Amino acid sequence: MSKPSRIPFYGFVLLLIAAGIAVATWRHMALGTPWLTGEQRPVWMIEARLDFDGLGESAMASLHIPEQPPGFRILTEQAASPGYGFSIVEESGTRRAEWTKREVSGPQTLYFKAQFVPDDSSMEHRPDTEPQPRTEFWEEPEATAVDELLARARDRSSTPESMTRELIRLMQPDSSVQNTTLLVSEGNYLTLLVRMLNHAGIAARTADALRLEDARRRQQLVPFLQIYNGDRWLTFNPRTGEQGVPENLLLWRQGSESLLDVVGGDNSRVSFSMMRQTVPALQLATLEASSNGLGVLGFYQLPIEEQSMFRMLLLLPLGALIVAFMRIVIGIRTSGTFMPVLIAIAFVQTTLVPGLIAFLSVVAIGLLLRGYLSSLNLLLVSRISALIILVIFITAGLSIIGYQMGFNTGMTVTFFPMVIIAWTIERMSILWEEEGAREVLVQGSGSLFVAICAYLVMSAPLAGHLTFNFPELHLVVLGLILLMGQYTGYKLSELHRFTPMKAYD
């Protein structure tokens, strides 16, 4: 018989480990799931406050809300408005928050809150239909002045962007152009700019932006100019001609005509408050997962109850890894192959010291009672069944006594798997009869040692974090276990066991 080649096997294991690490890295990059626990990310909490006076009739307030502001992603949205019906409506490419109420009188205040995450990769998508410049009509003498200004700007420019910049520069009061003073009057500057650009064949519109500064209240939106360059909308500061959206600027309104419409009320105003918050990066990733295609590969969309169950289940592979290592490489004898993992799982729920005390007392009392059972000369199945019932009595007794004595930890005994404990007691007892107390001690303490090691690993916050949030890392664990299955070297315990061989060397 020839040795089969191990290369495909090692290739497969390498592939498993590489795949696990690659998917985890991908998840980290795409979803922002942090590697470590406790990482923090900044989030802007912005609150829009609507005030209006009700006229004693039915009212509807409609506020434009951003859909995908450049440089940001929306994390959460919520409205606080007692007594009002609320919904978010999307029509003709704009999103509006709508509050409605049958009868409104007196001053009203409505709130809309949203959290924004800075995200450089967030880009506007292209408009579905190419925006067309509107046709504008001018009366004399403005018509001549506009034409002349546009002609000048066109002379000094080559593209829509440079034309816009030139026009803004010409429109400034300090520029020595006579026609500017003729056209510009208080309050109409931006609309005039938009009209002129449209007249010049460049689609243009206004937008409202919010300057983000920590802990500001009663902020107003700042108007900005946007032109369409044939590919996407570009934002300009209408005073300086500066192009682009600075980092601390959030475009609240773009692409819709009105910011706020109130029917059935007057004296309406909107103001903004903002606050810079830090949110655990993990929470952020969790919240975003639902909106992201990658979230399907995670557990965040499951109901909370199933999530917490998976949290426990996903720790099991780590325990199995520890058991494999302890048995294959170290050579510790345990009673029952995976009994230590189950005990460790119970320890995770009870914490170590109370769990250890509870486990040892249940097993010790169980062994005593088993001694009596063995003298009854019972069939194996009924003996085990009787033992299970006795174990339940013991745990119930310990819980009640512990509770009466004021130790709530006594209750944690119930986390131990009863059937496993019953079998453990049975095995230990037979081991005792056949091989003596020493072997019971060796295997019992071996099992406990492995269980405690597995517990220490499984209860580490990082372990829980990585196994739950990066389930693909289990491929790495699987790979390691497969590798260990090929380990043909000496166990640590064998280095001790074979010491008498020194004499023959």
Partner 1 sequence: MDWISPRKLKRLGMLNMNRRNVDYIARYNDRSSYPLVDNKLKTRLVVREYGVTTPKLLQVVRQQHEISHFRQIVEGMPGFAIKPAKGSGGKGITVVTGRENEDYVKASGARVGVSVLERHLTNILAGLYSLAGSPDVAIVESLVQSSPDLARYSHQGVPDIRIVVFQGYPVMAMLRLATTDSDGKANLHQGAVGVGLDIGTGKSLNAVQFNRPATLHPDTGLPLDNIHIDAWEQMLEMASRCYEATGLGYMGVDLVVDANEGPLLLELNARPGLAIQMANGRGLLPRLKNIESLKRPHFSPMERVRYAMSTFAASEGNLQP
Contacting residues toward partner 1, per CB under 8 A: 1, 3, 328, 331, 377, 379-381, 430, 434-435, 485-491, 494-505
Beta-carbon contacts of residue 188 (< 8 Å; ≥ 6 apart): none
- Strand bridging mode 72-80 / 94-118: antiparallel
| Smallest distance, partner 1 to C-beta of residue 6, A | 11
Q: Which of 442, 293, 424, 325 is nearest to 367 (CA)?
A: 424
Which C-beta is closer to partner 1: that of 234 or that of 384?
384
Helix, strand, or coil here: 65?
A: strand
Task: Closer to partner 1 by CB, 178 or 375: give it.
Answer: 375
d(CA 447, CA 335): 6
CB of 498 to partner 1, least distance (A): 6
Nearer to partner 1, 360 or 419 (CB): 419
The secondary element (H helix, E strand) that includes residue 61 is strand 40-65
Min separation Cβ 449 and partner 1, Å: 16
In the complex, least distance from residue 322 CB atom to partner 1, rounded to whole angstroms: 17
CB 493 within 8 A of CB 330: yes
Helices and strands, number each (H, E), in the chain: 16, 11
To the nearest whole angstrom, how small is the minimum distance from the Cβ of residue 304 to partner 1? 39
The smaller minimum CB distance to partner 1, of residues 290 and 385, is found at 385
Least Å distance, CB 437 to partner 1, is 14
Residue recorded with tokens 């597995």: 454
Measure the CA–CA gap between 346 and 368, rounded to whole angstroms.
Answer: 23
Nearer to partner 1, 182 or 420 (CB): 420
- CA 395 → CA 88, 305, 388, 418, distances in Å? 55, 26, 11, 9
Choice between 7 and 380, CB closer to partner 1: 380
Give first-to-last CA distance, the chain, whole Å: 31
Q: Which residue, 334 or 412, is less far from partner 1 as judged by CB? A: 334
Which pair of tokens denotes residue 490?
């000496």
Burial of 304 (0-12, 13-18, 19+ CB in 10 A): exposed
Indicate the DSSP class of residue 486: T
**Nearest distance, CB of residue 305 and partner 1, angstroms:** 35
- Comparing CB distances to partner 1, the nearer of 306 and 494 is 494
- At position 430, the amino acid (one-letter code) is I
CB nearer to partner 1: pick between 69 and 366: 366
Provide, rounded to whole angstroms, the least separation between the CB of residue 377 and partner 1: 5
The DSSP string of 106-147 is EEEEEEEEEEEEE-TT--PPPPSS---PPP----TTHHHHHH
Least CB distance to partner 1 at residue 36 (A):
35
